Structure 1
């Protein structure tokens, strides 16, 4: 059985720099009837565990460590025995939410994760956060972009540990070179494609200045 992509949405609070915002987060599961990989663990572990069912969780992969993407990661790991994986440059953000509880493993650029016979390549795409990553699964024709690329442009860069020129460079150099038909599954909101977003790069740059 080939891998498939499953989706659920959870709601909660994003908190940073003393502010709080109510947000809806996408959770993506990649796998088959036997095993699954979880992309981001926001807010509450219960709905994610319900979606996992009885399957083995290969890993809980954090696209970055803002609290609305990692709140439930330790609980999910405890319930499933799966490791929590995070790029080391996001430890400063992780430690704000989970002081004293380190991630179980590190993500690195070019690393390949495998679930249900499908390979996902880790792309380090800093800008929204220093350790932000995307996961590219060419066999499925999909990219899990976290908060790096959305329908309509780059992720936010107005808060601590983020940088607009850096996120634009990440998108330009690492993502827009992917096949245009690649479906982009985002951390919030609707999915898009590389081909739909690529023509607007200069508009984003002009808007960001």
Structure 2
């Protein structure tokens, strides 16, 4: 899939399949990997499971960075190998370092993400939004130019991401969605870490139900 919003920069979606493991359990999952760029350069959002289809979507472009929404193993499993193959830096919020170390012990991410960081790629900019709750260092990436936000596992079609395992907290994720995501324009398309897209406008009316669920 490839989408644009009038810019040279486009968004390509790659779906890879593998497993997610945490707290002694393992589950089969399909992950969305997003490639954002123009014909010459791009960034990756997440690095899940299978290198080959990701490299095919890159299509020989220079990779300016691998931006990680969070450090669950299904989102970072091939991050180090991809970074080495492509000569790209990995970027992760430091509050997810403990999770990262469970998958890549002894090899840290190249650079930290911080709330408000900006990444310019092609003719658009991605802003880092720290959106903890699914994990302490979960981040979303907002592009006003493209009218999209990449939310990882923070917000899905139908509501917040899972918070029933270690390192997660339901009230925190609802606060993150409320304060950082639902304040975006309602037409903003939400590109998620798994499954189908949604929009901010489609999810906003359900906020109170999420709050009530947490009590």
Matches within 5 A, 1:86-105: 86-105=92-111
Tell me what 2:57 maps to: 51
Tell me what 1:144 maps to: 150
Q: 1:92, 1:81 → 2: CA distance?
A: 24
Following TM superposition, by how much is the alpha carbon of 1:147 offset from its aligned partner in structure 2, in angstroms? 0.3
Computed over aligned residues only, the root mean square deviation of the Cα atoms, in angstroms, reads 0.8
SS at match of 1:65: coil
Tell me what 1:5 maps to: 11
Following TM superposition, by how much is the alpha carbon of 1:53 offset from its aligned partner in structure 2, in angstroms? 1.5
Q: 1:117, 1:99 → 2: CA distance?
A: 36
1:32 maps onto 2:34 in alignment: no
Unaligned 5+ runs, structure 1: none
Q: 1:179, 1:21 → 2: CA distance?
A: 34
Q: 1:113, 1:158 → 2: CA distance?
A: 32
**Correspondent of 1:134 among 124, 130, 140:** 140
Conservation of the 8 A alpha-carbon contact between 1:73 and 1:84: yes
Following TM superposition, by how much is the alpha carbon of 1:54 offset from its aligned partner in structure 2, in angstroms? 0.7
Tell me what 1:193 maps to: 199
Q: 1:75, 1:2 → 2: CA distance?
A: 29
TM-score (norm 1): 0.98
Q: 1:208, 1:31 → 2: CA distance?
A: 38
Tell me what 2:85 maps to: 79
Q: 1:206, 1:2 → 2: CA distance?
A: 43
Q: 1:198, 1:144 → 2: CA distance?
A: 16
Q: 1:48, 1:5 → 2: CA distance?
A: 13
Tell me what 2:67 maps to: 61
Following TM superposition, by how much is the alpha carbon of 1:45 offset from its aligned partner in structure 2, in angstroms? 1.5
- Structure 1 residue ranges (4+ consecutive) displaced by more than 3 angstroms after TM superposition: none
Q: 2:99, 2:51 → 1: CA distance?
A: 20
Tell me what 2:4 maps to: none
Unaligned 5+ runs, structure 2: 1-6
Conservation of the 8 A alpha-carbon contact between 1:107 and 1:122: yes
Q: 1:100, 1:137 → 2: CA distance?
A: 33
Following TM superposition, by how much is the alpha carbon of 1:46 offset from its aligned partner in structure 2, in angstroms? 1.7
